[in-house]
Amino acid sequence: MILTMYVMQSHPDRHRRGMILGQLEVDTVDIPGSLPANVSVVNSVADFETEYCDGINILPRQAITATLGPETLIGSTVTLSGLTDPCMLYVNAVAIEVVGGSYDLLLDKAGDHIIEVNEATCELKRWVITAT
């Protein structure tokens, strides 16, 4: 039997609630006693990239239709719109909570700027903007 581990709805970071962590193969329905705090299991198979758990069911992650503005010159601002509201955005590995569905990124230095959405209930997205 396959059990899917997920982050419980009681987790203090609401952006991680429902996130699929992995799967266990077990012989019985007994829940393993060595699970970390705020982690539980559901008797189902799930894909961590495309699904999440609401505490009972495995559900598909919401699609992100976000688009980037075209500017890539140093000193310009790129707008990322169409994000889920609210969501956690990572810009060059720095976490930023976005409210309102859009985010403006100032391209203040040359090189790559990596933007990632890693929200349990919506699909994983990653953009790389190279400012010149």
CA dist 43 → 7, 10, 56, 69 (Å): 14, 19, 9, 43
Regarding whether 71 and 56 lie in a shared domain, the answer is no
Q: Taking all residues of the chain, what is their mean pLDDT, rounded to a whole number? A: 80
Whole-model pTM above 0.85?
Answer: no
The angle formed by the CA atoms of residues 83, 21 and 96, to the nearest 5 degrees, is: 35
Residue 131: the pLDDT is 83
Q: Name the band, by pLDDT with cuts 50, 70 and 90, for residue 94.
A: very high
Total tally of structural domains belonging to the chain:
2
Percent of the chain residues past pLDDT 90, beyond the cut? 5
Give residue 94's domain range: 67-131
CA-to-CA distance for 76 and 22, rounded, in angstroms?
A: 40
Percent of the chain residues past pLDDT 70, beyond the cut? 89
Q: What is the DSSP string of 110-126?
A: SEEEEEEE--TTB--EE
Regarding whether 75 and 53 lie in a shared domain, the answer is no
List, in sequence order, every residue forming a beta bridge with 9; answer none if it has no partner: none
Regarding whether 88 and 115 lie in a shared domain, the answer is yes
Regarding whether 25 and 55 lie in a shared domain, the answer is yes
pLDDT at 32 over 60: no
